[in-house]
Amino acid sequence: MPGCLAGLSPPPAALHLLLRGRGRSRMAFSAAAPSRAFQLRLNPLTGDSEWLVVDEAEGEDAGAAPPQTQRQLLAATSYLDMLNDAARNRAYRRAIEAAVSDPSSRVLDIGAGTGLLSMMSARALGAVGGEGRGSVSACESYLPMGKLTRKALRANGMDNKVKLFHKRSDELQVGVELDSPADVLVSEILDSELLGEGLIPTLQQAHDSLLVKNPKTVPYRATTYGQLVESPFLWKMHDLHSNEANAADGVWLTPGGMENIVSVKLQQHAMQCDPLQDEIRLLSEPFKVFEFDFSERPESQRENKITIKTTGDGCVHAIISWWVLQLDSDGSIFYSTAPRWVRQSSITDLPQCADDTKDWCDHWKHCVWFTQGRGASVMKDQTLSLRASHNLTSISYQLLNANDEACNGSLKGDHLTLLPERIALYGDRYWRSALITAIKNALGDRSLQTCIVADDSIFLALLVSSLSPSSKVIAMFPGLRDTGATYLQAVAKANNFSIDQIQVIGKRAASLSTDDLEHKKVDLLVGEPFYCGSEGMLPWQNLRFWNARTLFGSMLSEDALIMPCKGVLKLCAMSLPDLWRSRRSLKNVEGFDHSVVNETLGACGDLPGEQQGPCLPYYVWQCGYTKKLSKVYSLMDFNFAEPIHSCFGKTKIEFADAGTCHGFAVWIDWVLDEKNSIVLSTGPDSRYWKQGVQLLSKPIEVNPAKSQLHVEASFDPSSGDITFCSSFS
């Protein structure tokens, strides 16, 4: 359960920013009073942020967020997936029972979540006769979650056995909230990288102010591991320059001499690597990186030089990393996030989990650190040096040469950093060719005065500027802003256009005025569409382009060209047993009833009536076992020649294969030209895009000759939401 240590300032009465759960998609703001919190929500169609108020009281007062909004906030987190991880729950239960052995134990749970670990602690305390002698205290500062914690405690008769505080751990004080320092610390403030949820600062503050000297802790220790790999797929996600050279289409996002001006973000990227097992060549054995002992105050930063012997010839494209928890001090209870090939190996010096049949889960993934450029060529039995370092929230790596110098060059101040999927897309030959062809066809022999790139597409900004040198190009760059302007200035000459030809507005669409256009009409409006910061959202939230087109309506010339000209909502019936298992409704979790949290967390199955959980964004290829059960169907068209409006669509899916249908994947195909001849799909066959996944109220066994799935969908232009309704016949 996530950490509770952070702080910034929302307006006007709220005091603290709680940036929670990097892999769990949460950002919340706690107010001055513990009974109220501010939740920041992004409007996907406008890019504007709006504040929602969440109150501790079960009822609502004026201005409070409606229950549906609170459900949407929590359903988008990975709490449910985490609580469905039986191996994790079992390991924590065993370790807590071992740690809480003294009837006078004073237990502190930081980041209580649904209160599962607190209830385990209270039960263990009662089992050793500690009721009335020991104590269990818990803090959960994310108020929507804290309200759910109270429900779960009440449902299990634990509300008078666990003292719950809607505060961050650094807001607790011994002698105020806590009667005395805790001698047992229970926590789960871990993300895929281990440190990203604030593990180190939370432990530091707890050891300084909240714990006795030499406390018992669950977990007891965490160890991070890494492995060198070669992978053409991972290479495409970081070496844009080489892939541009292979495309040879004349557009240079990374011109010669500026190979790293567009690069992948230098961080560990969470990714399910098991599906890549057949595409990965291992170039080393697993190696230990760092150990973190929870019973001691951790250092803020460390550096470790690691000597690695390679196991084969190849090119190191990435370091795949994971961690192993030792939950008890005796070293008998472990939990590992290692890739499948490591768990199935016979390596003797790696801790083995007691139950190594761990189900697929999404709340903890593997991590990928990309090497720069083409990677590092190695030969079998070569000795490499790797420098690993960590700060308060992240771990980083540098391969070293014979002189112990970093092999990777430093990045310049004018460079852009993007997510790996975007780097791969910008280097994809088919994707680039489709856009180049569509723009060339659109321009034809026309002389265009003013063109607008409505989104954050640096590719289209360069392409339109170079193909239409007489045009004035307006790049909105609502997310890139000044960084995008600096980048364009650096690469303009290499792409054969003058920087005077292009103007970066750096505003959202609603802020554009005729003064910005010098009172000229727009002849060409283009977008991929892509908006920085929207990469993790549902695919139709890029319909922000349609909203922008509507806002620009009065500025468009009568024969203005719009590209893409429409979007088509597509869907395919899927068997998704692993994803279903991770999102299924909760009942008994290690002896505690969790049915009260199902509806709020967006669970599937066993809900009132035929109620479905929310449609959520996933990389379908990373969702464990998947199987398509139907062909692809069109459900709804979005015509960008018209102003944005509500839409409705329905279709009947006939199954092409037998199996268990758990739901359907949904995405948008962008039609670039009016002839429908150039289409860019964001479906499951493309691993660079997330799809929406709508799980059914219950899985259905289907037969091609008998089963049909009826799906209806409606688009709300005020919110940007698409709602689905499905039934079988």
Q: Which of the residues are catalytic?
A: 188, 197
Q: 137 with 165: CB under 8 angstroms? A: yes
Residue with tokens 């949290």: 597
Whole-angstrom Cα distance, residue 639 to residue 641? 5
Strand ranges (DSSP E) for 349-449?
A: 366-370, 376-378, 383-390, 395-400, 416-418
Comparing CA positions, the residue from 235, 223, 193, 229 lying closest to residue 341 is 229
In whole angstroms, how far apart are CA 495 and each of 43, 254, 261? 35, 10, 14
Alpha-carbon distance 366 to 724, whole Å? 32
What sign has the CA pseudo-torsion 192, 198, 204, 210? negative
Round to whole Å and give the CA distance between 2 and 112: 8
Tokens of 657: 């294969």
Amino acid at 173: Q
**β partners of residue 712:** 650, 725
Give the chain's end-to-end CA distance (angstroms, integer): 41
Do residues 13 and 31 touch, judged by C-beta distance below 8 A? yes
Distance of alpha carbon 431 from the chain centroid: 24
Identity of residue 696: L
Query: Which SS3 state, helix, strand or coil, does residue 189 take?
Result: coil
Whole-angstrom Cα distance, residue 152 to residue 109? 15
- Alpha carbon separation from 382 to 258, 376, 447 (Å, rounded): 30, 12, 59
Beta-sheet pairing, 627-628 with 556-563: unpaired
CA angle 397, 399, 405 (to 5 degrees): 110
Reduced 3-state DSSP string for 255-294: CCCCCCCEEECCCCEEECCHHHHHHCEECECCEEEEEEEC
Please tell me whether the peptide bond between 529 and the residue prior to it is cis, using omega within 30 degrees of 0.
yes
Tokens representing residue 484 in the block: 């995008």
DSSP 45-90: TT--EEEEEEESSSS--TTBPPHHHHHHHHHTSSHHHHHT-HHHHH
Report how far residue 265's alpha carbon sits from residue 195's, in angstroms, rounded to the nearest whole number: 17
30 in Cβ contact with 14 (< 8 Å): yes
d(C-alpha 109, C-alpha 534), whole Å: 34
Ramachandran category for residue 481: left, alpha or beta (phi over 0 → left; psi -120 to 50 → alpha): left
CA distance 716 to 705: 35
> Exposure pattern of 454-485 as b/e (b: 16+ CB <10 Å)?
bbbbbbbbbbbbbbbeebbbbbbbbbbbebbb
3-class DSSP state of 364 = coil
E strand intervals along 310-362: 314-316, 318-326, 334-336
If DSSP codes are grouped into helix, strand and coil, which group holds residue 203? helix
Q: Which residues of 209-226 are buried (b: 16+ CB within 10 A; e: fewer)?
A: ebbeeebbbbbbbbbbbb
Q: Which residue has the tokens 């001691």?
A: 296
If we measure between CA atoms, which residue out of 189, 218, 188, 191 comes closest to residue 321? 191
